[in-house]
Amino acid sequence: MSKYWAQMVILAMLLLACRVPALWAQSGQAVAVITELKFNRGDIQITAPGKKAPEKPAPLQSLYPGTQIVVTKDAAAVILFTEGMKTVTIGEKNSPFNVKPPEAKGGSSGVGVTQVASLLLGKKKPPTYIPLAVRGGKHPPTLIAPRDTKLMTDSPTFKWMGMEMQAGTLRLYGPAGQIWVAENIARTQIKYPSTEPRLNPGVEYSWSIEKAGFPAEKARFTVLSPSEARTVQEQVKSLEATAELPDTTLAILKASLLISHGLFYEAREVLVAAETKDPDEPTVHLLLGETYEKTGLKNLALEEYAEAQFLSRISQ
């Protein structure tokens, strides 16, 4: 009888040993995240611990020790290790690449910067919206920014889209009523003049664009206090001082930081600039979609999410 139980214990230990990689992948901590994907004429595949079949990587996918990344031809993937803020660009020459746990915790980047990098871990996949059929005809202008956001600046640039050929009137309101008006605007943006009264921290403001034949929609925003803004600005400077971060990855980190503080206006500015320089980076479009979703612009969010999916070569 004792021999039987001894055999059962050995069998159980063998089965547990076989399951260790899979258990680590499920319960272990991610050590890196994919910040950039460039497929070009090649391909990128990753094999997670405990899995046999490779899969297409997703933007901002968390990576665990034991993950293998295979890159072919002129494709490339940039991964960011959260400990020490080290990036590795994986191409055909250093493929396959095996993700390893950090040798030692800490680093010159500092705790605050590491926490910013950790914001990228565990990002959820974007929701799938069903686009609604839009009937023909004219539609009122869409207020883009600032919209449902906090600001670090007290001199924002108001941006909208739609009915560009028809002049309109922009009105800015505070708690006591209208504080600024700009008439006969035939553009899609205008900066709040430095000659007008300064916008006060913690006060809710709203603005609208009036065009003939349509009700005026209002968008709201508040301005951070100088001390609150200074805290975020110092974090941004720490990121910018981190050595050898690729430009797009730096923009992604800055945008994620700003989003975490509810600063969707500034995050969008960073991402739009990054999109201009690197239009085929899916992560940039993914985060742009997030800023639009959080500010109630679901149609624009859908467009950005769809573009991120297309550039990632991921089937729906």
284, two tokens:
């940039």
Q: Which of 274, 258, 278 is nearest to 266 (CA)?
A: 258
Are residue 230 and residue 308 in the same domain, yes or no?
A: yes
Full residue range of the structural domain in which residue 173 is found = 154-223
The strand pair at 86-90 and 76-81 is best described as: antiparallel
Gap between the Cα atoms of 47 and 21, Å rounded: 12
Are residues 238 and 204 part of one domain? Answer: no
Side-chain half-sphere of 158: how many Cα atoms within 13 Å?
A: 25
Q: What's the predicted TM-score (pTM) here?
A: 0.84
CA 159 to chain CA mean position, Å: 20
Could you report the per-residue pLDDT of 279-294, keeping only the tens digit for each? 999 999 999 999 999 9
Q: Are residues 39 and 92 in the same domain?
A: yes
Residue 18 lies in a domain: no
Which of the listed residues 180, 204, 223 is the one where a domain comes to its end?
223
Domain boundary among 168, 199, 223: 223
Query: Would residue 134 count as lying in a domain?
Result: no
Q: Is residue 124 part of a domain?
A: no
The band of 105, judged by pLDDT with boundaries at 50, 70 and 90, is low
Asked if residue 162 and residue 215 are part of one domain, the reply reads: yes
pLDDT tens figures, 173-207: 999 999 999 998 878 899 999 999 999 999 999 99
The arithmetic mean of pLDDT across residues 61-81, rounded, is 94
Q: Note whether 289 and 214 are same-domain residues.
A: no
Instruction: Confirm if 163 and 211 have CB atoms less than 8 A apart.
Output: yes
Give the number of domains in the chain. Answer: 3
260 in a structural domain: yes
**CATH code at 259?**
1.25.40.10
DSSP per-residue codes, 41-94: TSEEEEE-TT--S-B---TT-EE-TT-EEEEETT-EEEEEETTTTEEEEE-STT
